[in-house]
Structure 1
Amino acid sequence: MRVHVVSDVHGAADALARAGDGADALVCLGDLILFLDYADHSRGIFPDLFGVANADRMVELRTARRFAEARALDRELWAGLDRRDAIERAVRKQYAELFAAFPTPTYATYGNVDIPGLWPQYARPGTTVLDGTTAEIGGRVFGFVGGGLPTPMHTPYEVDEEEYAAKVAALGPVDVLCSHIPPALPELCYDTVARRFERGSTALLAAIRSVQPKYALFGHVHQPLVARTRIGRTECVNVGHFNHTRTPWALQW
C-alpha cells in the first residue's frame, strides 16, 4: 500500500493533479487556498485585488510581527469594497480548479485558511472530507483533525482550544494521526524564514503521547526548524510545503 500526503497546497492545482501518481490514495492536510504567497508576492487573491506593491507591504508588516499595522493596512484597502463577496468569488474559482485536480480516492481535511462551508459544493465522488473523524485506508486507521488555533492572523478556520481538543479526543486510537497544524513542540512549530513560532496543539501532543500512533502527519509550518522527530514510538513528520516542493510525502507499507 502506498499513500501520498500533501499539505499547504496554496493554489498549486497543476502539481496537485499529479500528486497521486503511483499511489493507492492521496491524503491532503489542507490549506488549498492561496491568499498571499510569501515567496512570490504576485500570486494569490490579495495581489490580484490590491496589486503587488500592497502585497509587498503586507508581507513586510506580518513578517515583522507588526500585526496592528497590518490590520490597519487591511482595513484601508478594503474600505468601500464588499470583502465577503470578493473573497468568496476568488475562493470559489480556486476551489473549482483544486477539487477537480484531486485523484480518486482522496481523503482531505481543512487547513486554517480554508472555508469548510464551501467544500461540499466542490468535493466530487472519490473525495472524502474528514474533520474529527477517521477512515480506514489499506487496513490502517487514519484520524483527521482540520483547521488551526486562534492567531493574530485571524485566518478563516481557526477554532478555540476546547473545540480543537474535542475533535482530537473524538478520534480514539488511530494508526496515523493527520492534522493541519503540528503538535506543540517548539522545534516543529518554528518557521525559520518567517522567524516566528506558529501555533501547535497541546491536544495533539497529548494524544500522541497517550495513543502512540505509528505516524503523526501535519503541515502548516512552511520552513520548519525540524521537519521530523519522534515522540515515543510515534514518527512525527511535517509532510512539506506542497506549493513550494510540488512533491508529495510518501507513506508505504
Structure 2
Amino acid sequence: MNPVLNQNKSSWDAMADTWFGSTALPVYGCLAPTEDELHLFPDLSGKKVLDIGCGSGHSLCWCGQKGAAELWGLDLSEKQISNAQSYLTENGYHPRLYNAPMEQECGLPKEYFDVVYSIYAIGWTTDLKAAFCNIASYLKPGGVFIFSWDHPLMSCVDVIDDKLVFSGSYIKDEAFSYIQRGQPVTVQNRRMSAYINELADAGFVTERLIEETDSDTLSRAAEFSSGYYSPWRAQKLPLSFIIKARKL
C-alpha cells in the first residue's frame, strides 16, 4: 500500500467513530439535493448493491430499507468496516464487507452488482482510473454507478474581505494534505473533466451531472460565514457534485 493510503487508513481508523452516521443516503453531501429530490437510484427491490467507501454502514441500511436483496461494502478503514458490521447486524442485515482500497483488486465478484454507489468517498482514491475500472468490472452490463464528492471549485476559492476569491488552480490536478478531526489526511483535487473522461475510459456513459445547492438553502437569507460548507458559500457555488453513470 502506498504512503498516502497508509496515512489515510490510519487516520480514518482513528476518527471513524466521530463520523458515525455522517453523510449517508438519502443525503449526498452538505447542502446538496437529496435522493428524495433527485430520484437517481432505480428501484432497489431484489437488487445487489455495493457501497464504495461504506463508512459506518448507514447508506447500506437505507438500501436495505428500500428492498435491496444483497448489501456489500468496501472501505479502506478497518474500524469503519467494524462499525458498519455492527450497525447493519443490529438492524437485521447480513452484509458482506471488504476492508481494502477501492483502487486495488480485493476479490469482489465481477459483473455481479446491479448498483454501485459511493457517497462522499470516491475522492479519497489515489488512482481514479483504477478505481473506476474496478467499479466497472463489478457491475453487470447496464448497471448503475452513482457517486458524490466535493465540487472541484471548492478547493480553488478562499474567503477574503467577505468575498469569495479565486486563489487556487483549477487547471492542476494536485494532491493536498490537511488535518481533519486531529488526523493528517491527503486527497487529490481533480477537474470535473477528469471524472467524466475516466468514466468514459472505464466503459461508462454519464447520464446526469448534478451541480446544485438544495432549494431550501437557496431560498433563505444566509449570513456571512467563512465556513467551508456554509450556506453563504453554498449560495454562490455548489459545494458538492453528484454523477449518475451507466455501464455500457
- State the TM-score, normalizing by the size of structure 2: 0.32
- State the TM-score, normalizing by the size of structure 1: 0.31
**Larger strand proportion of the pair:** 2
